């Protein structure tokens, strides 16, 4: 059945990805409402051959809407999502506003689609780095419970939105032309550089991004006892995150068993060519739905073959944000 949808934050990087994915997956749309800040009013967005004017996002934007896809930032989600629910819409929210609310399902469709039916009007989309890790880890956890995860992320600038991607390109041009790079979106130069993720450091010494991965994974897996530690790093890549993941399991497991489990896992593709040293790269994952997995090897520092190392790459804008939300909306159908 066709649905009336709204996209809040349609002019941003994830909002534009919503448009592309809805078309590519032929989501059944009766009508659409394109919502953004006042400065974007007057623009038009084309979806499935029809032009829609961009309207200002207000509390009165959701009359007649069935599903609202939000990617307008946490503050706007907190302000406007309740109004959308009151008007009768189901909100799929891409911000961090509701993720840890015990009344709000936090969903990766390949992992916990059954949680969608528990919603009370709002469903939260997890953090991008959490999604990209969870998709390949879940089938392993189902087969052999994970006791401990150690994750190091290498995160693309797209996680900071279109402004992050623009800054990387501009700085690269400036440096190659012999000019001083201009830092606006990021505190430090990102072109030809790597730095700790640009989120606030908490009293425990971990930044917000790291703690999101810890708390969200435990909630999605319904497994609060998993020991998780993360280090999140920003790198000068446009839109695909990479992650080094070390997993310690309850029972012994081999790399071949891991490959067998992942070979047909939903949302996962293997690139694990040890002979040619060919493993997942951001170039592989860009504009693709799957999370790519490779460098599957035994962690020989843990006895009894109970630990495995993985390397993954996934598109931050796509599976890390817009695609996951659209998949949730598809489940709502």
* Residue in the structure block whose two tokens are 């032929």: 26
CA–CA distance, 207 with 41 (Å, rounded to integer): 35
> By the 8 A CB rule, do 229 and 152 touch?
no
Name the active-site residue from 119, 141, 197, 241. Answer: 241
Question: Which residues pair with residue 92 across a beta bridge?
Answer: 69, 123
CA nearest neighbour of 188 among 153, 239, 233, 128: 233
Name the active-site residue from 128, 230, 240, 242. Answer: 128
Q: What are phi and psi of 198, to 5 degrees?
A: -85, 50
Cα dihedral 199/287/149/257 (nearest 10): 180
> Could you tell me which residues come within 8 angstroms of residue 176 by beta carbon, excluding any fewer than 6 positions away?
none
> By the 8 A CB rule, do 22 and 328 touch?
no
Q: For residue 128, indicate whether it is catalytic.
A: yes
Q: For residue 241, indicate whether it is catalytic.
A: yes
Q: Please report how the helices 128-143 and 255-263 are oriented relative to each other, as an axis angle in degrees rounded to 10.
A: 110
- Residues forming the active site: 128, 241
């Amino acid at each position: 059945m066709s649905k009336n949808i709204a996209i809040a934050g349609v002019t941003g990087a994830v909002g534009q990805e919503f448009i592309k994915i809805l078309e590519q997956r032929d989501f059944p749309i009766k009508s659409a409402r394109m919502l953004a800040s006042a400065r974007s009013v007057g623009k038009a967005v084309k979806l499935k051959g029809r032009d829609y004017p961009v309207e200002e996002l207000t509390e009165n934007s959701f009359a007649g809407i069935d599903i609202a896809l939000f990617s307008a930032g946490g503050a706007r989600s907190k302000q406007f999502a309740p109004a959308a629910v009151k008007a009768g819409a189901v909100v799929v929210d891409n911000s961090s506003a509701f993720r840890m609310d015990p009344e709000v399902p936090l969903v990766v469709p390949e992992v916990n689609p059954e949680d969608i039916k528990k919603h009370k009007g709002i469903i939260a989309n997890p953090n991008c780095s959490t999604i990209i890790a969870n998709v390949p880890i879940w089938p392993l956890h189902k087969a052999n419970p994970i006791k401990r995860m150690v994750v190091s992320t290498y995160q693309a600038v797209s996680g900071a939105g279109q402004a992050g991607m623009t800054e990387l390109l501009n700085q690269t041009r400036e440096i190659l032309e012999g000019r001083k790079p201009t830092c606006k979106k990021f505190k430090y130069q990102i072109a030809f550089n790597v730095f700790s993720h640009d989120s606030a450091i908490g009293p425990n010494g971990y930044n917000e991004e790291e703690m999101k991965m810890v708390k969200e994974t435990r909630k999605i897996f319904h497994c609060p006892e998993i020991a998780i530690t993360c280090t999140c790093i920003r790198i000068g890549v446009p839109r695909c995150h990479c992650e080094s993941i070390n997993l310690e399991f309850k029972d012994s497991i081999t790399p071949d068993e891991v490959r067998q489990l992942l070979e047909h896992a939903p949302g996962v593709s293997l690139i694990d060519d040890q002979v040619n040293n060919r493993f997942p790269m951001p170039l592989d994952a860009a504009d693709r739905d799957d999370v790519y997995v490779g460098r599957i090897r035994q962690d020989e520092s843990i006895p009894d073959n109970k630990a495995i190392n993985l390397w993954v790459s996934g598109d931050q804008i796509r599976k890390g944000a817009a695609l996951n939300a659209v998949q949730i909306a598809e489940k709502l159908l």
